[in-house]
C-alpha cells in the first residue's frame, strides 16, 4: 500500500489497485483516540464543528504496515488509523447491515417451504437464533411450532429479538371475538390480506401471532408476499405501479380513545427504487382525495394490485394449530384470515410487534460471536 500526503487529503493506493482519498477534515473529525471519543461509550467527544475545514496535518506517517499516524495543528494532537478501518470506511461503503443479508421474494409455491422450526430450537442457543433471524429477514416469514400455550409466551419469543413495540391495542394484544370490538380482527369476520397499523407513521415491521386455542370452524390464515406482488404489478402495469408508489392515500383508525391517521403511498420505495414497504388495508383506507380526473386511474391501480395480492397463485394458506407462532414482516408480507363461526368453538391468538431496527441489531450482535458466513448459510436447509 502506498500513502501520499496531498494538499487537502491523504491518498491511499491499495494493493488491489484502487485509490481512495481521505480528506484531512474527515480524518481529524474521525480521530479514534480517547480524547476524541469516549473509550467506553464510543460516542464522539470532539465537537466536529471546531475542526477547521482547511486543516492540514503537521505530519503524516505510515508507522507499521497497517497504522497511519497523523499529527495535527495547533498542538500536535496525534490520530492513529488502522488501515483496515480506513478500508472499511472508504467512500461508498455502506454501514454493514449484517453479513450479506438479502431478501428473497416468494409466491404460493412457497407454501411447503415456509421456514418452520420448533420453539425448542429457536430458544436453545444463539447460533440457532441467528439462523432463524437471518431466514426471517430474507423471506419475511417463519412459523415456530410447539410454543407453549401460555398467555404472554408470544412476548417472550418477541424479546429474544428485541423490545416489544406497543400500540393502542396494548403491548400484547388478544385476537378473539370480543363483545365490544375496536378492530375487525376482534370479530369473527374474515380479514382480507392486509398490513397491521397502516395508519401509524411507523408501521410495525415484525408481527408475531401465537395460536393458543383454536376449536372454531373457519378462520384459516393467508399470507402473501407484498414485495413479490408489487414487482408483478411493476411488470404488468407499470403506470399503476408508479401511481401507487407516488400517490399518498390516507389510512385512519378512529375509535373512542384514538384518532390515528397518516397519508402515505401503498407502495413505498427506497432511494434506489426498490420496494421497501407495503401499506395495504381495505378496511382502513379512507376516501381517495385526488383530483377527479385521477379517481378512475387510482382505483384501477388499486384493484390491479389487490388482484395480484389475492391471486391464489401468490397466496399461502394454512390453518394455525395451538402452539403455532407465525412471525412475519408486516410491512412486506400481508396476512388475512377467513371468517369463522364462534358458535362452533373458541379461537384465541395473542400477538405483538417488534421494529425492524431491533431485528437488525440482534442479527449484528449475534454475528459478533458467529463464525464467518458460508455462502449458503441462510439457506433453509440449515434450519
Q: Which of 161, 185, 309, 363 binds ligand OGA (CB under 6 A)?
A: 185
* Closer Cβ to ligand OGA, 122 or 349, answer by number: 349
DSSP-derived pairing of the beta strands 221-225 and 340-341? unpaired
Angle between helices 238-246 and 226-236 (to 10 degrees): 130
Q: Which of 98, 351, 355, 362 binds ligand OGA (CB under 6 A)?
A: 351
Q: What is the DSSP letter of 88?
A: H
Binding mask 217-256 for ligand OGA (x = CB under 6 A): ----x-----------------------------------
Least separation in angstroms between CB 292 and Zn ion = 33
| Cα gap 248→264, rounded to integer Å | 4
| Cα gap 270→250, rounded to integer Å | 20
Least separation in angstroms between CB 342 and ligand OGA = 12
Q: Which of 51, 143, 275, 349 binds ligand OGA (CB under 6 A)?
A: 349
Is 308 one of the binding residues for Zn ion (CB under 5 A)? no
* Closer Cβ to ligand OGA, 226 or 351, answer by number: 351
Is 138 one of the binding residues for ligand OGA (CB under 6 A)? no
User: Contact 73/59 with Cβ under 8 angstroms?
Assistant: no
Nearest to 287 by CA among 337, 235, 323, 251: 251
Query: Footprint of Zn ion on residues 182-241 (CB under 5 A)?
Result: 196
Is 208 one of the binding residues for ligand OGA (CB under 6 A)? no
- Torsion, CA 212, CA 220, CA 331, CA 185, rounded to 10: -70
Q: Which does 115 bind (CB under 5 to 8 A by kind): Zn ion, ligand OGA, none?
A: none
Q: Report the SS3 class of residue 329.
A: strand
Q: Report the SS3 class of residue 351.
A: strand
Cell numbers of 102, please? Answer: 438479502
Is 337 one of the binding residues for ligand OGA (CB under 6 A)? yes
Which residues contribute to the site for ligand OGA (CB under 6 A)? 175, 185, 191, 196, 221, 335, 337, 349, 351
Amino acid at each position: 500500500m502506498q500513502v501520499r500526503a496531498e494538499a487537502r487529503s491523504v491518498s491511499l493506493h491499495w494493493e488491489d489497485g484502487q485509490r481512495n482519498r481521505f480528506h484531512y477534515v474527515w480524518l481529524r473529525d474521525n480521530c479514534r483516540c480517547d480524547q476524541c471519543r469516549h473509550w467506553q461509550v464510543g460516542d464522539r467527544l470532539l465537537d466536529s464543528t471546531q475542526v477547521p475545514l482547511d486543516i492540514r496535518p503537521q505530519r503524516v506517517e505510515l508507522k507499521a504496515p497497517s497504522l497511519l499516524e497523523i499529527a495535527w495543528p495547533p498542538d500536535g494532537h496525534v490520530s492513529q488509523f488502522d488501515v483496515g478501518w480506513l478500508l472499511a470506511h472508504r467512500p461508498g461503503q455502506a454501514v454493514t447491515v449484517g453479513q450479506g443479508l438479502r431478501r428473497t421474494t416468494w409466491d404460493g409455491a412457497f407454501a411447503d417451504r415456509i421456514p418452520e422450526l420448533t420453539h425448542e430450537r429457536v430458544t436453545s442457543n444463539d447460533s440457532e437464533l441467528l439462523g432463524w433471524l437471518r431466514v426471517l429477514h430474507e423471506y419475511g416469514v417463519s412459523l415456530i411450532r410447539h410454543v407453549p400455550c401460555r398467555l404472554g409466551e408470544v412476548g417472550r419469543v418477541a424479546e429474544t429479538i428485541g423490545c416489544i413495540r406497543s400500540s393502542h391495542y396494548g403491548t400484547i394484544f388478544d385476537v378473539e371475538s370480543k363483545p365490544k370490538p375496536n378492530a375487525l380482527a376482534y370479530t369473527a369476520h374474515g380479514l382480507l390480506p392486509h398490513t397491521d397499523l397502516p395508519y401509524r407513521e411507523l408501521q410495525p415491521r415484525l408481527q408475531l401471532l401465537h395460536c393458543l386455542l383454536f376449536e372454531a370452524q373457519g378462520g384459516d390464515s393467508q399470507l402473501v408476499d407484498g414485495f413479490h406482488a408489487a414487482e408483478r404489478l411493476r411488470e404488468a402495469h407499470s403506470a399503476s405501479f408508479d401511481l401507487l408508489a407516488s400517490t399518498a392515500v390516507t389510512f385512519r383508525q378512529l375509535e373512542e380513545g384514538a384518532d390515528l391517521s397518516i397519508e402515505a403511498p401503498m407502495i413505498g420505495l427506497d432511494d434506489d427504487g426498490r420496494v421497501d414497504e407495503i401499506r395495504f388495508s381495505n378496511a382502513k383506507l379512507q376516501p381517495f382525495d385526488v383530483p377527479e380526473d385521477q379517481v378512475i386511474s387510482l382505483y384501477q391501480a388499486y384493484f390491479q394490485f389487490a388482484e395480484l395480492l389475492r391471486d391464489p397463485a401468490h397466496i399461502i394458506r394454512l390453518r394455525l394449530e395451538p402452539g403455532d407462532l407465525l412471525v412475519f414482516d408486516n410491512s412486506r408480507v400481508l396476512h388475512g384470515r377467513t371468517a369463522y363461526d364462534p358458535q362452533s368453538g373458541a379461537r384465541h391468538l395473542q400477538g405483538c410487534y417488534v421494529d425492524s431496527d431491533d431485528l437488525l441489531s440482534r442479527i449484528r450482535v449475534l454475528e459478533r460471536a458467529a463464525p464467518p458466513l458460508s455462502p449458503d448459510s441462510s439457506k433453509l436447509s440449515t434450519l
